[in-house]
Chain A
Amino acid sequence: MKYCFYRIASVLALTLAVISPSAFASFQMESIEGLAPGEQYRQLSLLMLISGGVDPGLVDMLQPLAQSHPEVLEAGRSNLALDDFSTPLARIVDQDVLLANAAQMFRYARENSTEIQARMTQIVQANPILISMVDVNEIAADAIIIRSAIADSIEYSNAIDAPDSAEQLQAFRGQTVYLRNMMEYNIFQEELAEITNQAILDLGGRLDAYQRMFDDDVDPDLIKRRVESAEIMNQQTGDRYEDQANMRNTELLMMLILMESQVH
Chain B
Amino acid sequence: MPTSCSLWNSKGDRGQVQVKIIFRVTTLVLLFSITMLLNGCAGTARGSKSSVYQDYQPVEVVDYSLSKADALVVIRYPAIIHADAEASYFHAFSLHAIGGEVPPANRTKKVTTRIAQSILAKSNYYVMSLYRELQKELPEKTVLLSPHIILWDRERGLYSRPILATEQIPSVVTVDFNVYSYPDTTELMDSPPVTFGDLVTPIFVVQGDRWIQPPTNGLLLASAPLLQTAWGLSEQQAERAIERRLEGGLVDYQRPLDFVQFLNRRAVPRKNLPLKNVGESRLEVQSVEQYPVEKIKMDGLLLENLSEDFSTDPFAESFVKGAAERVKHTLNEVNHDKATFFARQNALARFDPELAIAFLARSGGEDVRSRLQLAEALIEAERKFIAAQSVSIYDGTYLGDYGGKMRQMIEGEYALLENRRSAARKANVTTAVAALALIGSIYAATASGAIGGIAIQSFSGILVLGSLWAMSSTLETRAESAQMSEHFLALIAPALERQISVQMEWLQSKERISAMGFAEFRNKTLTLYQARVRSLQTRYDDNCTFRHPAFNVSGRWFGSCREGLAQDRGYGVIMDNAGNSVEYLGTAANGLPSGTGGMIARYGRETGAFYFEGAFEKGLPNGIVQVEEPGTRPRIREFRAGKDVGSGAAEQLSRLTF
Produce 1/0 per residue, B496-520, CB < 8 A to A. Answer: 0000001001100110011001001
A 202-230 binary contact with B (CB < 8 Å = 1; else 0): 11101100110011000101000000000
Are A200 and B385 in contact (CB-based, < 8 A)? yes
Contact in complex: A181, B506 (CB < 8 Å)? no
Is the CB–CB distance between B521 and A210 below 8 Å? no
Whether A239 sits at the interface, judged by CB under 8 Å, is: no
B424 → chain A closest CB, angstroms: 38
Known: A200-B388, A214-B505. A181 touches B521 (CB 8 A): no
A191 within 8 A of B: yes
Could you tell me the distance between the alpha carbons of A181 and B377 in the complex, rounded to whole angstroms? 14
Across the interface, name the chain B residue whose C-beta is closest to A174. Answer: B366
Distance of B418 from chain A, by nearest CB (Å): 28
Shortest distance from the beta carbon of A141 to any chain B beta carbon, whole Å: 15
B396 and A207: CB pair below 8 A?
A: yes
Shortest CB-to-CB span from B334 to chain A, Å, is 27
B366 touches A185 (CB 8 A): no
For B524, what are the chain A residues with a Cβ–Cβ distance below 8 Å? 195, 199
The answer to whether B366 touches A181 (Cβ under 8 A) is yes
Encoded as 1 (CB less than 8 Å from any B CB) or 0, chain A from 152 to 192 comes to 00000000000000000000001001100100110111011
Residue A196 lies at the interface, judged by CB distance under 8 Å to chain B: yes
Contacts of A202 in B (CB 8 A): 517
Say yes or no: B401 contacts A181, CB within 8 Å. Answer: no
In the bound complex, CA of A206 to CA of B514 (Å): 9
Q: With A203-B514, A207-B513 in contact, do A185 and B385 touch (Cβ < 8 Å)? A: no
Which size bracket describes the interface of A in this complex? 20 to 34
Q: Which of B373, B401, B528 contacts A195 (CB 8 A)?
A: B528
Contact B377 A189 (CB under 8 A): yes
> Closest CB of chain A to B531's CB: distance in Å?
9
Report yes or no: A181 in contact with B385, Cβ–Cβ below 8 A. Answer: no
Give the distance to chain A from B309, nearest Cβ to Cβ, in Å: 14
CA distance A206 to B521 in the complex (A): 14
Instruction: Report chain A residues within 8 Å CB of B277.
Output: none
Whether B381 sits at the interface, judged by CB under 8 Å, is yes
Query: What residues of chain A lie closer than 8 Å to B374, measured between beta carbons?
Result: 184-185, 188
CA distance A186 to B234 in the complex (A): 39
B370–A215 touching, CB < 8 Å: no
Q: How far is the CB of A211 from chain B (nearest CB, A)?
A: 6
Any A CB within 8 A of the CB of B525: yes
A210 to B525, CA, bound (A): 25
Check if B505 sits within 8 Å of A203, measured CB to CB. no
In the complex, which residues of chain A have a beta carbon less than 8 angstroms from the beta carbon of B381? 192-193, 195-196
Question: Once bound together, how far apart are the Cα atoms of A127 and B392, in whole Å?
Answer: 39
Given contacts A196-B384, A206-B513, contact A211 B400 (CB under 8 A): yes
Given the interface contacts A177-B366, A214-B506, does A195 sit within 8 Å of B521 by beta carbon? yes
Q: Which residues of A contact B509 (CB under 8 A)?
A: 207, 210
Given contacts A200-B384, A207-B396, A211-B396, A184 and B532 within 8 Å (CB-CB): yes
Q: Is the CB of A192 within 8 A of B525?
A: yes
Say if the beta carbon of B378 comes within 8 Å of chain A: yes
Q: Does B399 contact A (CB under 8 A)?
A: yes
A203: chain B residues at CB < 8 Å are 385, 388-389, 392, 513-514, 517
A22 and B502 CA atoms in complex are apart in Å by 71
Please determine whether B370 and A196 come into contact, CB atoms closer than 8 angstroms.
Answer: no
The interface residues of chain A lying within 8 Å CB-to-CB of B517 are 199, 202-203, 206
The answer to whether A210 touches B506 (Cβ under 8 A) is: yes
**Residues of B contacting A: mostly:** helix
Residues in B338-377 with C-beta less than 8 Å from chain A: 366, 369-370, 373-374, 377
- Of chain B, the residue at the smallest CB distance from A180 is B370
Please indicate the chain A residues that have their CB under 8 angstroms from the CB of B388 in the complex. 200, 203-204
A192 touches B377 (CB 8 A): yes
Selected contact of A188 from candidates B385, B401, B520, B528, CB within 8 Å? B528
B contact residues around A211 at 8 Å (CB): 396, 400, 506
Residues in chain A near residue B401, CB distance under 8 A: 214-215, 219
A178 touches B378 (CB 8 A): no
List, in ascending order, chain B residues with CB within 8 A of A206's CB. 513, 517
With A203-B392, A214-B502 as given contacts, are A185 and B377 in contact (CB-CB < 8 Å)? yes
Contact A185 B370, CB 8 Å, known A192-B381, A203-B514: yes
Nearest-Cβ distance from residue A226 to partner chain B, whole angstroms: 12
Q: Which residues of A contact B529 (CB under 8 A)?
A: 188
Question: Which listed residue, B366, B373, B506, B521, touches A196 by the CB 8 Å rule?
Answer: B521
Q: Nearest Cβ in chain B — how far from A151, in angstroms? A: 15
Rounded to whole angstroms, the CA-CA distance of A189 and B532 in the bound complex is: 11
Looking across the interface, which residue of chain B has its beta carbon closest to that of A196?
A: B381
Once bound together, how far apart are the Cα atoms of A207 and B366, in whole Å? 42
Beta-carbon contact of A181 and B384 below 8 Å: no
Instruction: Report how far A193 CA is from B524 CA in the complex, Å.
Output: 12
Name the contact of B385 in the complex, choosing from A196, A215, A219 (C-beta under 8 A). A196
Question: Using Cβ atoms and an 8 Å threshold, which residues of chain B touch A204?
Answer: 388, 392
- With contact pairs A192-B378, A200-B388, A211-B506 given, residues A181 and B399 touching in the complex (Cβ less than 8 Å): no
A193: B residues at CB distance < 8 A: 381
Given the contacts A188-B377, A207-B392, A210-B506, A199 and B385 also touching, CB distance less than 8 Å? yes
Q: Which chain A positions have C-beta within 8 A of B384?
A: 196, 200
| B513 nearest in chain A by CB position | A206
Q: Is the CB of B525 within 8 A of A188?
A: no
Query: Which residues in A have their C-beta under 8 angstroms from that of B525?
Result: 192, 195-196
CB distance from B657 to the nearest CB of A (A): 13
User: Nearest Cβ distance between residue B379 and chain A, in whole angstroms?
Assistant: 11
In the bound complex, what is the Cα–Cα distance between A20 and B532 (angstroms)? 37
B528 to chain A: closest residue by CB: A191
- In this complex, what residue of B is CB-closest to A199? B521
For A177, A184, A192, the residue with the greatest tally of chain B CB atoms inside 10 Å of its CB is: A192
Within the complex, what minimum Cβ distance (angstroms) separates B381 from chain A? 4
- Chain B residues whose C-beta falls within 8 Å of the C-beta of A192 in the assembled complex: 377-378, 381, 525, 528
Shortest beta-carbon distance from B91 to chain A in Å: 31
Considering the complex, give the chain A residue whose CB is closest to the CB of B503.
Answer: A214
Interface residues in B101-135 (C-beta closer than 8 Å to A): none
The answer to whether B513 and A199 touch across the interface, beta carbons within 8 angstroms, is no
C-alpha spacing A181/B373, complex, angstroms: 9
Instruction: Find chain B residues with CB under 8 A from A199 CB.
Output: 385, 517, 520-521, 524
CA distance in complex: A211, B397 (Å)? 11
B366 touches A210 (CB 8 A): no
Partner of B370, one of A184, A195, A207, A221: A184
Query: What A residues does B502 contact at CB under 8 A?
Result: 214
Docked CA distance A133–B48 (Å): 60
Cβ proximity bits A129-161 to B, threshold 8 Å, 1 near / 0 not: 000000000000000000000000000000000
Q: Which residues of B contact A221 (CB under 8 A)?
A: 399
- Nearest-neighbour CB distance to chain B for A83, whole angstroms, equals 27
Set of chain A residues within 8 Å of B400, measured between Cβ atoms: 211, 219
Question: Complex formed: what's the CA distance from A196 to B392 in Å?
Answer: 15
Give chain A nearest CB distance to B369 CB in angstroms: 8
Q: How far is the CA of A203 from the CA of B165 in the complex (A)?
A: 14
A99 vs chain B, min Cβ distance (A):
25
Residues of chain A within 8 A (CB-CB) of B521 are: 195-196, 199
Chain A residues near B370: list those with CB within 8 A: 178, 181, 184-185
Most buried by B among A174, A185, A199: A199
State A181–B370 Cα separation when bound (angstroms): 6
Residues of B within 8 A of A178 (CB): 366, 370
Report if A188-B532 is in contact (Cβ < 8 Å); known contacts: A195-B521, A195-B524, A211-B506.
yes
Task: Report the minimal beta-carbon distance from B371 to chain A, rounded to whole angstroms.
Answer: 9
Complex contacts, A177 vs chain B, CB 8 Å: 366
Roughly how many angstroms separate A53 CA and B524 CA in the complex, as a whole number?
Answer: 36
Q: A192-B381, A219-B400 are in contact. List 9 more A-B contacts (CB 8 A).
A: A184-B532, A188-B377, A192-B528, A196-B385, A196-B525, A199-B517, A211-B396, A211-B400, A214-B505
Can you name 8 A-B pairs with beta carbons within 8 Å? A178-B366, A181-B373, A192-B381, A192-B528, A196-B385, A199-B521, A200-B385, A202-B517
Closest 8 CB pairs of A and B: A181-B370, A199-B521, A200-B388, A196-B381, A203-B517, A214-B502, A195-B524, A188-B532
